Chains A and B, each alone.
Chain A
Amino acid sequence: MNNGLLQVEELRLHYRTTQGVVQAVDGITFSLAPGQALAVLGESGCGKSSLARAILRLLPRNVEVYDGCVRVNGLDVMLLDEEQFRRDVRWSKISIVMQAAMNALNPVLRVADQVIEPLLVHQDRQHDAALARVRDVFQMVGVPLDFMARYAFELSGGMRQRVVLAMALVLKPPLVLLDEPTSALDVLTQANIMNVLKRIKRDTSTSFILITHDIATSSELADQVAVMYAGQLVEISDAARFFRESLHPYSQKLMASVPRLRDDTKLEYIPGRPPSLINLPRGCRFAPRCPQRFAKCDQDPPMMHTEDSRQVRCWLYE
């Protein structure tokens, strides 16, 4: 697996709060090949966004623990200092489309000036050359070129989302993190954006990590699926098999809660609520809500590798 674009090993990010330590990202291991899209699924508050931040080292001030290993093209970026990381990794190797991306635009800059910023910051390009690149990337994401001189507040939500996407793509990074890129958009716009992402993935072989709670839209793009629960990955699988029959009880319940087009099955829900990341239950973290729990669930399950090269953190697959 050493030829992977991104390898994350035992990545941990804990926050310090007045109530205690929040174990938002607690020993995450996965890898991603070039040109692949990984969907990270999970409920709100399970640490999905913290995972994105941990990968890009966008840390708040109250960090308690931040360790593990993040390799980009084999290079352990955790060893770089902040300035090197900023210069060599952020945006040029890995860029991100933030959650609530519509607010990620500077309200006092025209959108073209906004999108050009990473180019000027990272590549010292001439303004004209940079502008040409901005024009390309606007076309790629489907923003009409006459929108370039507009301000963010003059654009619709979908257009703003595209501009933010353009900004993430402008340096042609091999990997783009998408943190709930469509959560605030209407369904039609969501579909549009997903189509844009699919086209970009096909045309430029950019890798994506799509962080979302929206299983339906994630299935559009994902080659692989990782399910996150309470700061841990509980299942990693290729998308096709995952959506057909997932392994982990949590994944199964999750899938059962998604409405299907040609099916009449009654939608299910998961009883209980996700555990607080401060006081995690002993043993399997999903055990208190799990319909299939048995005695062994009192012990912490390791990541099991199944015969068909899927991974699942559940004693059922021992």
Chain B
Amino acid sequence: MTAFLAGLRQLRQYPSAVIGMTMVLSLLVLSLVTVLTIPYSEAIRLWRGAAGVWDESPELARPTWFQLFSARKLPKTIIVDTRQGGKEIANQPDGTRVVNASLRFAFPYDELPSAVGLWLSATYKEAQPFVILTWRKPNGEEIALEERTPQQTDRYFVSRDERLRERLQARSIEEALFDAGPRGNGALLRGTYELAVEGILFEPDADLEARLVVYGKVHGIAGTDAQRRDLSVALLWGTPIALTFGLLAAVGTTIFSLSISAVGTWFGGRLDASIQRLTEVNAMLPGLTLLVMIGMFYSRSLWVMLLAIILLSMFSLGIKTYRAIFLSLKEAPYIEAARTYGAGSFRIIFRYMIPRVIPMLIPAFVTAIPGFVFLEASLSILGLGDPDIPTWGKLLFDAYANEALFKGYYYWVLEPAALLMITGMSFAMSGFALDRMFNPRLRTA
């Protein structure tokens, strides 16, 4: 323990180690918080986007902080619900009842919202209510939207109402609804808008609720994708997945290739020769291509990929490096001494030879982690990501598939890319510092 603390104190001398370790630590904390606050099943549910999950989030919205770089005030999503008040019900002499609801909201922004949608939910037994929708602008202008007979749940996506657009002769519904001119060609109007919902209920127990969603152009800290999903879900959950994947792959690869190499070197002869030939053959095999084939024909599960990556990289050329170290170590006097006092082969391999190379190994191991994180991202970008699990690579794949860069949704590419780079940099910086600490002779080189 004291040795560990002393090691930490020594690490403090290297600024790169401090920065790198801090970054690694923040990533770990982020992963932990994510896993604790958003359970895995919840993350999967959100990312698969079951019906209704993302109804209220805008499509392709930029992250909120994008506002910092824009002089114009970008609209956020506004939700107004009759359940929060503003609904009156009056009984009529003929037994019907009239509902008057006014959904008011302030609109102080400089740009049009991205869309407008309305959810109606009606309670009735047989006779559906009748609803008249009227849009009132701050300047008093009124637009009759539609007359509907809603079912239990009814979605009226105003922005997609083509007939309305033709009737208003506007370029887009949003322009017509939010601009000063009658044809939607004036300047954008700021102020309080109102959607009047006037309904007639034909049954005594019937009821009507309405919820208006004016979709903004910025959303959350990460923005949304073309399926309205909040990118932060994938960015957050991508962190523990990337770290776990990188760590497991690095641990698996290192432990296996180290053991294989040590066993081969110790016993020598045909065993060593076959391990060496296997390594050479494996080094010539195009690993990524093999992984692509596994992904295409067998399984895209993250864990299958992990196993395949470990199997492929276990016999990497690293074995040759370890072998070179072990060959000289094998002849070391203390190994011979151990053999003399009767230590068995495996005791010598695992208690004498392998511990000896660990100082050389730790930095290499730390720097190897991001390599595997990137490999997983590459597979995802090639469309071979796990279909269930949200990862950074999957975000990049989605962005690419939706032509995000071409259409100017830079955030969609930059966010996962930045996280990948931060991960790579944090481990690289820590690894280099550890290398200097564990192998002091390299310092001057």
Contact = CB atoms under 8 A, between A and B. Distances in A.
B336 interface: yes
A167 interface: yes
Contact of B343 (A95, A104, A117): A117
A106 interface: yes
Given A107-B356, A108-B355, A117 B333 contact: no
B337 to A, nearest CB: 4
Nearest to A122: B342
Contact of A95 (B339, B341, B351): B341
A86 B188 CA distance: 93
Interface string B331-369: 011101111111110010001100110100000000000
Interface string A71-95: 0000000000000001100111001
Interface residues of A, number: 25
B333 A98 contact: yes
Nearest to A61: B268
Interface in B304-344: 332-334, 336-344
A104 B339 contact: no
Which of B332, B342, B343, B355 has its CB near the most chain A CB atoms (within 10 A)?
B342
Interface string A170-201: 00000000000000000000000000000000
A107 B338 CA distance: 12
Contact of A103 (B332, B338, B340, B355): B332
Contacts of B344: 86, 121
B59 to A, nearest CB: 59
A297 interface: no
B202 to A, nearest CB: 87
B340 A98 contact: yes
Contacts of A95: 340-341
A117 B340 contact: no
24 contacts: A86-B342, A86-B344, A87-B342, A90-B340, A90-B341, A90-B342, A91-B341, A95-B340, A95-B341, A98-B336, A103-B333, A103-B334, A104-B333, A104-B334, A106-B351, A106-B356, A108-B358, A109-B351, A118-B341, A118-B342, A121-B343, A121-B344, A122-B342, A164-B337
B3 to A, nearest CB: 11
A58 B343 contact: no
A96 interface: yes
Q: Which of A56, A91, A106 has the most CB of B within 10 A?
A: A106
B395 to A, nearest CB: 44
Contacts of A87: 342
A105 interface: yes
A267 interface: no
Interface residues of B, number: 18
Interface string A51-64: 00000101000000
Contact of B340 (A58, A100, A106, A107): A58
Contacts of B342: 86-87, 90-92, 118, 121-122
Contacts of B356: 106-108
A118 B343 CA distance: 7
Contact of B341 (A101, A108, A167): A167
A276 B434 CA distance: 50
A87 to B, nearest CB: 7
Contact of A106 (B334, B339, B358): B334
Given A98-B337, A104-B337, A107-B334, 8 more contacts: A58-B340, A86-B342, A100-B333, A101-B333, A103-B332, A117-B341, A121-B341, A167-B337
B340 A96 contact: yes
Contacts of B332: 103
B336 A58 contact: yes
A106 B341 contact: no
A121 B333 contact: no
Nearest to A171: B341
A121 B340 CA distance: 11
Interface in A113-141: 117-118, 121-122
A172 to B, nearest CB: 13
A252 to B, nearest CB: 35
B103 to A, nearest CB: 73
A108 B333 CA distance: 14
B335 to A, nearest CB: 8
A109 B352 CA distance: 9
Nearest to A87: B342
Nearest to A92: B342
Contacts of B339: 58
Contacts of B341: 90-91, 95, 117-118, 121-122, 167
Nearest to B332: A103
Contacts of B347: 121
Interface in B369-414: none
B218 to A, nearest CB: 56
A222 to B, nearest CB: 23
Interface in B127-158: none
Contacts of A109: 351, 355
A160 to B, nearest CB: 11
A53 to B, nearest CB: 9
A107 B340 CA distance: 17
The 9 closest A-B pairs by CB, nearest first: A104-B337, A103-B333, A118-B341, A91-B341, A108-B355, A90-B342, A104-B333, A106-B334, A86-B342
Contacts of B338: 106, 117
Contacts of B334: 103-107
Contacts of A96: 340
Nearest to A57: B340
A49 to B, nearest CB: 12
Contacts of A118: 341-342
A56 B340 CA distance: 8
Contacts of A91: 340-342
Contacts of A164: 337
A75 to B, nearest CB: 17
Nearest to A56: B340
Contacts of A90: 340-342
Nearest to A88: B342
Contacts of B333: 98, 100-101, 103-104
Contacts of A122: 341-342
A32 to B, nearest CB: 19
Nearest to B352: A106
Contacts of B355: 108-109
A104 B343 CA distance: 14
A224 B347 CA distance: 38
A51 to B, nearest CB: 15
Nearest to A114: B334
Contacts of A108: 355-356, 358
Q: Of residues B332, B334, B341, B343, which shows the largest number of chain A Cβ atoms within 10 Å of its Cβ?
A: B341
B350 to A, nearest CB: 12
A86 to B, nearest CB: 5
A118 B352 CA distance: 14
A122 B342 CA distance: 7
